[in-house]
A and B are shown apart, each in its own frame.
Chain A
């Protein structure tokens, strides 16, 4: 600890602190409740993410190196590794679906460059004075090409595509630093200011908004500040149900560690395997179970942020304050333009006693949306409720693993027969809502009945727990599937928005929703743009309603196409996505619900929040970071 001073005063304080910690530990032994505290650097790093991320993660794709989809010699799809429920399984229907949907063929491969070509990486231009001072602090850093490239991108299609193709990089960070705690960050930011070095905070690296891209016009030395080693839970306060956590922790570690003490945050964005707490704060993330736990802005109680002007934090942890505009809201969604989030105090909940998945099949998307709206209106949404359109429903089916027993196959067959034949559902129209209930057992069952009753009035038919659970598994593996697609000339991306309901229902057959209009118009716009831009194959456009609110919904789109015959597929893709976003905005959708703006959607900021609004944000930036040390140029 900071005890290089000889004064007896500071020794006294240090001793007192140790006593308190010892007390805590003692108490922890006797009694599970109370406060569990950990001091900076007091413990070995137990996080999933090593400094050299490329040791366990793909350098040019999603997720773990050991987990990937591939078509085996028999042409059957397989998911490798041991980490997921789907791992090691054969997916017999995926090939047919893939070939039919995209007009692709397993014989037409577009393999990625096997390894990073270090000569394609621009040499590091280091600020020697900064490096000297940094060495003195003992904070680890690197300027190896692999480390720098890994932090030069997020997971936008164009970024991954460029990596796979071995394209030359225009600009990558010149070095990477790994602070270990808040104080390390303070030192780094001070040095950066002193030597006029550009800092780009890097959390989980799962950005899909070009937020991590280095601005090519940046001439200063760019330092990527990797927060992955700041991954401890510093204390848990069971009395107030809050935990104080270092912001570099990634979602899966946070949940796992809290679970060990019987708690959870309930914040589960689809990227939670890899995305970090600080990243959630910086992008205004949303978790799938927000209906019970809230979005990130509802979960945060206290923030500690290191900026070029110093450290921002509030002086108390009251649950709500009327102290002018909430300064947290300058930080939430600031996308790394103001500083680094180092520590967060956030709400925690006891792990729910009972969890149950569920699913409902509707005859068509319209009926499904009408049902979700009604559920939201009655404020009885389960922890998660999502509505997949028919394309996604079929996609989900294509991911069914080989069934081991004849019996389950038989039951599935019966179910299918009942839904499509007996109930008269058209398999090319029907859609499925997936549900997740949480709470104590009795309440869950009651809640479940309430939701199924509402669904029934919209023609919905309960379709079992398995279908529900499969829907959520899909979320975690879908990013891996994009890599498979890219091996066979298929590019894919997702984007999201939020939109008011604007409902108008007459009967089951006839309902008008702005949500529906937006989905239809965006899909149609994509199809039309693809045709006009020379895409030879029908694109896949699919959407799902992933969140419901009183006043609207969050809609998530998937979009993929076979790019054989296109000279510059990424450019084509970008033009189409651009058009799709314009369509979203014209139809009353927002610029983003939870992905953020980054550099990808900057051009619409003024239109979205007015030029006065942009001015307000700019003046905060100018005050907090007058020298643009946090120079990733996101947002504004």
Chain B
């Protein structure tokens, strides 16, 4: 009987993602943080399931959260939905200004920082150099935001930490593959945050495997930087 109830509970919440997508990962962390049972469906993006296409007809992307049959896409929108629907362990603060701050930095990660890292990863020559300059400027702002705080959310992790979160993993992959140091001694607060964040139990237990990440990004890197 208890198993049936547990199974029914986990039927209510489904998450479409891939094993590696950072956008799906942040939703996993939010669900784990709040102790929400869910069923994870890992998609093969070269062969999208009919269900995914039905639940996200506009973008056809992951992640998609389906709650009681109703789909929500866009990871930051999903995080807000999760926070409003399940009130335990809030990921957004009460104060409107602090909320605005968290949202601002979530957007910054997605719209500025990640694209600049991707540019540096996938471009060559002058374009790659310019991308590195952009990364450095972006990291400077992020470092500034961490002043006086343990996490972006303060004493506990919040929406901005979840948004920045995959950096704590991707940056090491990037540095290993390119041989370049991104988060060096110029960013002591960010370094410390990456350490503290990745050591949190729900984060540690829900990282994509490092070796698998290296293989995946190595292949991608070689695609963008073919040896002549």
Q: Do A and B bind each other?
A: no
